[in-house]
Structures are given as C-alpha cells and as structure tokens.
Structure 1
Amino acid sequence: METTKTVREQILDHAISLMMLRGYNGFSYRDLSDLVGVKTSSIHYYFPSKDDLVLEAVHAYTREVQDAVKTIDAGLPAEGKLAKFAKMFGRTLGDGDHICLCGMLAADIETLPEPVRLAVQAFFKANEACLTQIFAEGASDGTLATSATPEQAARAFFAALQGAGLASRLFRTKSRLEEVEASFKLSKQK
C-alpha cells in the first residue's frame, strides 16, 4: 500500500531532484510551486527561506544515503562491500541526468550558506569514513589494491566516484562508475 506524500515531503523530493539536475542556483520556489501544485507562500510556510529548504534537503539526502550504506552486508569481503557501495552510488544517477546532491552542491560551494556547506562536508566525511573501514578490511583480506592508507584510498575513491558521476552525466553512461570500482580491485589472474 503506497502512502501519499505530504506537501512538505513533495517539496523536499522535488527540491532534491532539481538540485541534482541544476544545482543550488538552478531552481526557485516558483519551480517547486509548479511541480507540487501549491502557491509559493505554501512553500515558505514549510521552508521560510531557500537556505532552510536546501539544508533540510541535504539532511534528508544524507539520511537516505547512510541508510542505504547500512544495508551493505557486513559479511561480504571488502571487495564485495566496495562493489555494493559503488552500485548504490550509481543509483543516484538515475538515467544519467542526475549527480549526487552533495557533489552538485560542492560545485556551488562559493554561493552556499555556511550551514549548508558544513552539511555537505559532513556528507563527504561520513561516506569517506565508511569507505575507510572498507579499505582497511581490503588491505587486511587482500582484496583491494592500493598503496595509500585506508583514509587516503577512501578519499580518492569517493572523489573518483563524484568525478565519474559528472562524466557519466556528460556522456550519459554509467560505465565511468564501473571503471572506478574496477581500478581498486586486485586482479583475479596471478
């Protein structure tokens, strides 16, 4: 049974989608008004300012991504966890026209209000922390190839995913993400 989303939830969903397509400066309350079918004053009721809306969108998106990360089977070897993480990240791309919300907002960093900038940084740090654990396990079980520390590998991998998301959008293909994951695996042929 599908539940109907509240106006507030619809506003957040559309705001996230628009930002994944256009960035912080690429949408307005008028755009949301048209999509949700309410007056802009109704949007201001829930989110007095665009900064309030964007901050809540980042928090909601972060919770959604972290909940998805928690579903990665802890019993998998590190290589399997890394593959699941990359596939989960790839789902955010939709049909190739979206990129990670926080990746898109990071590109707009100079125009973001301080609380949003800090929330975007927190998103990156949380994902890098998860990946650090995976790379530490991969070094221990011998399934992930890197000459860097687990922290460095995690930052490089997440940055590569973000960059691959941009390139995937540009070329309308998700193969760029698969290449990132494959570059950290040990060869099965020895």
Structure 2
Amino acid sequence: MPVHDFDPPERFVVGTVGPPGQRTFFLQALSGRRLVSMSCEKEQVQILADRVNDVLDQFADDAATASPEDNDPLATPIEDEFRVATLSLAWDPTRAVVVIEAFDADIPEAGDDDEEATDVPEEFLESMASRQSVRVVLSPLQARSFVRRARALVSSGRPPCPFCGGPLDPTGHICPRSNGYKR
C-alpha cells in the first residue's frame, strides 16, 4: 500500500476550488517539493476539524499559545491523488502530536467471520495493495491552525435560508416553508 508520510509537513491545509454551492474541498500536505492533494467532502472537513479540536482540548497544553494563520491559497497544481473515503485521527502521547491518516477507499470485507478461516481472499489482498493513504503528523500549533482554517472555510459557504435553513443560491431557492415559492 503506497503511504505518503509527512512527519511533520511544512504545510497541511484545507482549501476549495469553485464557487459556493459547487465547491470541491481539498486536503493538501506539503513537505519540500513533495505535494499531495486529496479531494474530500465538506462534511469530512467539518467533522475532522471538530474532532481535532476535541483531541487538542483533551490532551494538548497549547491553549494560551497562538499560531500564525495560513491564509495562502492551495499550492498548485491542484490535482487530487485520490478521493478521501476514510479518515483516522490519533494522539501520540509520547511525542505530543496529532496524527491524521486519510485513505482512498474503505477497507474491503475479508470474508465471513469464521475464526478458523485463515485463507485471505486474493481480491482482498489486491485491493489492499492498491490502496493509497496519507499520514500527517501535526504539532498542536499546526493542528489548531488547521482547525481555524477548516472552520472558516466550511462556514464561508452559501448562507442559510432564514425560513428553512437550507442553503441559499445567488438566485434564491424554492423554500419548502414558503409553500414552494421562490424568495
């Protein structure tokens, strides 16, 4: 399984391409000349930011320290290596760092749950060998900076409708609370 390891990265950010409502979200890790971009869903970014913040609140001692903001655009070229299907998050207490892993596909089923079965299906092994992943190790300051940028980016989308809470397009939307009339 190809693993892109960034321990630590010079930069780990989230960014978007496209107008609100049609944005594609990207996670990007940069170290030297090595750049990996992964496309993902807005909800994945939002949940990752929330969970990283929870981990930092629980384990890190950086509450009073401010880190510099990274408001630069995504590095180019913006071509995704893969689409993120699974994210994992961990805290390494020996190094006091956050570890984020992104995988390109869900782990396939290895067959039935028979404890005596020792044969692993060949298609399982092939799918595991072709999987890609990215592993990023962040200091608490880098992780806090990532959380701030991710939250700002997620909240900068389309404004919510005051009646139904659904996203408003620049041309309005058909609001179910107003009996289908455009506002």
TM-score by length of 2: 0.30
Q: Which has the higher contact order (CA 8 A, sep 6+)?
A: 2
Structure holding more strand per residue: 2
Larger radius of gyration: 2
